[in-house]
Amino acid sequence: MSTSLTLTPDDLVEDCKAAIGEARPYAAVREVLERRLGDRGARDAVERALPATRAGIVPLHRADDLTVLQVVWGPGMRLYPHDHRMWAAIGIYAGTEDNEFFRRGPDGLTPSGGKELHEGHVLVLGDDAIHAVANPLRSFTGAIHVYGGDFFAVPRSQWDQDARDEKPYDIEETRRLFEESNASLPQER
């Protein structure tokens, strides 16, 4: 028996806002994402509320203590290594997200593993995590990214694709990568 669940972006944000009041907010947010993305019906409700049809970063909520984003990765898209300097919880509702992790080293970043996320998977990152993200598919990947702070206001770092040169994080450069991904897709007629 299939039930049609409904969800609005505000429902998801309210759940996350309640979770950050818990003693371990990152764990409580993980539970929210697992509940909202844990089965096909729940993921379908998220997909209806937040279609993964165009690469981009869409803020659903932004405050000093919490940012909730819809992140849609274009087909084959890759984002350079970067840090957040706050905990993050990532939940996938459509597609696949490959995460490559790094540690700081004397000559830039040193690879330190990776994690492939599929639909329904949730990953929590600590405030010291450095990662690069890629969508290995020929279709869009939709994700909910939740951060324990203001994602857009906290000074952060990014590295070139070779993971050597560190510079301040540039959200406009990131947005350009998403737009380039959209521009590379066949145009609808």
Residue 17 pLDDT > 60: yes
Mean pLDDT, the chain, as a whole number?
A: 93
Residue-wise pLDDT for 111-140, tens only, equals 999 999 999 999 999 999 999 999 999 999
Predicted local distance difference test score (pLDDT) of residue 188? 60
With bands split at pLDDT 50, 70 and 90, how would you rate the model's confidence at 161?
confident
Query: How large is the average pLDDT for residues 87-103?
Result: 97
Q: What is the pTM of this model?
A: 0.93
Q: Where are the domains of the chain?
A: 9-183
Q: How far is CA 52 from CA 9, 125, 139, 144, 148, in A?
A: 13, 23, 9, 11, 24
Query: At 187, is the pLDDT very low, low, confident or very high (cuts 50, 70, 90)?
Result: confident
pLDDT of residue 156: 96
The pLDDT of residue 2 is above 70: no
Residue 84's pLDDT is what?
96
Q: What are phi and psi of 83, to 5 degrees?
A: -120, 170
- pLDDT attached to residue 8: 87
Question: Which pLDDT belongs to residue 24?
Answer: 97
**Mean pLDDT throughout 78-105?**
97
Domain boundaries 9-183, corresponding CATH code: 2.60.120.10
